[in-house]
Amino acid sequence: MPDTPTRSTAVWVTVALGALGMVGVHVTLYLSYFYTPTQVTPGTLWVVTPDSGAPISLYESYRIFFIHLPSAYTTAACCGLTALGGVMYLLSRKPKWELLIVSAAETGLAVGAMVLLTGTLWADYAWGSGRLGSGWNWEARLTTMLILWLAFAALLVLRRAIDQPRQRSLATAVYGILLGPLYPLVSKAVDINRTSHPRSFSDLLSAPEIATTQRIASVGVVIALLSLVALRYTWNSVGNNLNTERAA
C-alpha cells in the first residue's frame, strides 16, 4: 500500500513525541511544585487592570503559566500547521497534507480550550473578583484567542457539511490557509489599545528558578501537546484507509 511508510513514520513520530512529552510534563510538574519559590519577590507581574495599572503579587498563581504558556505556543503551532497543510495540499494534492490540517485543527481545538481555561482561571484571580468568569473582560487578546478557538471548530464543522471528498479536501485546505493569519493577530492583540493581559513576562522570569522551569516547560509540555497532532494524524490515517477498503 503506497501510504504505509508514511503511516509507519507517523506511528514512530507519535511514540517518540509521546515518550519525550511524558518525561517533559513530569519534569515540569516536579519543578513547578518543588523547585520554584512560593512567594515571587522579584517576579511581580505588571498587569494593567481595566481600571488602573498596578503590579500584583502572584504568590502561587504564577504556576499556572507553566501550562498556559506552552499551551498557547502549541495553539500557535497548530494554527501554523493548518496553514502549511493547506498550502501544501493545494500544491501537491497529497492526502497526507489534508490529514495534517485536520489533526492540527483537532489538537488546536483541545489545546486552545486549555489556554482559554487556564487563562480565565488566572484572570479571575489577577483582575477579577475571584468568582469564576469574573476575569473575562472582552479585551483584545482574550477575544481573539476565543475567535481562533471557534475557527478551529468551524473548520471541523465545514468538513462534516461537505459530502464530496474532493470538494471537502479543497475546502479544508482553503479554510486552513485563511486560519493562518489569525494567530499573528492573537499575538499582536496585546498592542491594541489597553490590555489586561501581561505584555511581557520578563519581570516574572527574572527569578532564575522560574526562568529555568519555564524553559523546560516550553519544550517538554509543547512536545507532549504536539504528540497529540501526531496521534490524531495516525488515527485519521488509519480511519481513512479503513473507509477506502470498505468502499472497495
Under the rule (CB under 8 A), what is the footprint of another protein? 90, 140, 143-144, 147-148, 150-151, 154, 157-158, 161-164, 166-167, 170-171, 174-175, 177-179, 181-182, 185, 192-193
181 versus 208: smaller Cβ distance to another protein: 181
41 versus 193: smaller Cβ distance to another protein: 193
Instruction: Kindly compute the dihedral angle of the four CA atoms of residues 66, 69, 73, 74, in this order, to the nearest 10 degrees.
Output: 60
Q: How far apart are CA 171 and CA 162, in angstroms?
A: 9
40 versus 186: smaller Cβ distance to another protein: 186
| Nearest distance, CB of residue 142 and another protein, angstroms | 13
Cβ count within 10 A of residue 91: 10
Render the burial of 153-181: b for 16+ CB within 10 Å, e for the rest.
eebeeebeeeeeeeebbbbbbebbbebbe
Query: If you count DSSP H runs as helices and E runs as strands, how many of each does the chain have, helices first?
Result: 8, 2
39 versus 164: smaller Cβ distance to another protein: 164
Q: How far apart are CA 102 and CA 6, in angstroms?
A: 16
Q: How far apart are CA 70 and CA 111, in angstroms?
A: 10
DSSP 102: H
Strands (E), the chain: 45-48, 53-56
| Nearest distance, CB of residue 246 and another protein, angstroms | 22
| Nearest distance, CB of residue 120 and another protein, angstroms | 19
| Nearest distance, CB of residue 59 and another protein, angstroms | 34
| Nearest distance, CB of residue 166 and another protein, angstroms | 7
155 versus 205: smaller Cβ distance to another protein: 155
| Nearest distance, CB of residue 152 and another protein, angstroms | 9
| Nearest distance, CB of residue 102 and another protein, angstroms | 16
201: phi then psi, degrees, rounded to nearest 5: -105, 15
116 versus 222: smaller Cβ distance to another protein: 116
Question: Of 181, 62, 79, whose CA–CA distance to 119 is shortest?
Answer: 62
185 versus 211: smaller Cβ distance to another protein: 185
Instruction: Kindly compute the dihedral angle of the four CA atoms of residues 105, 109, 114, 116, in this order, to the nearest 10 degrees.
Output: 110
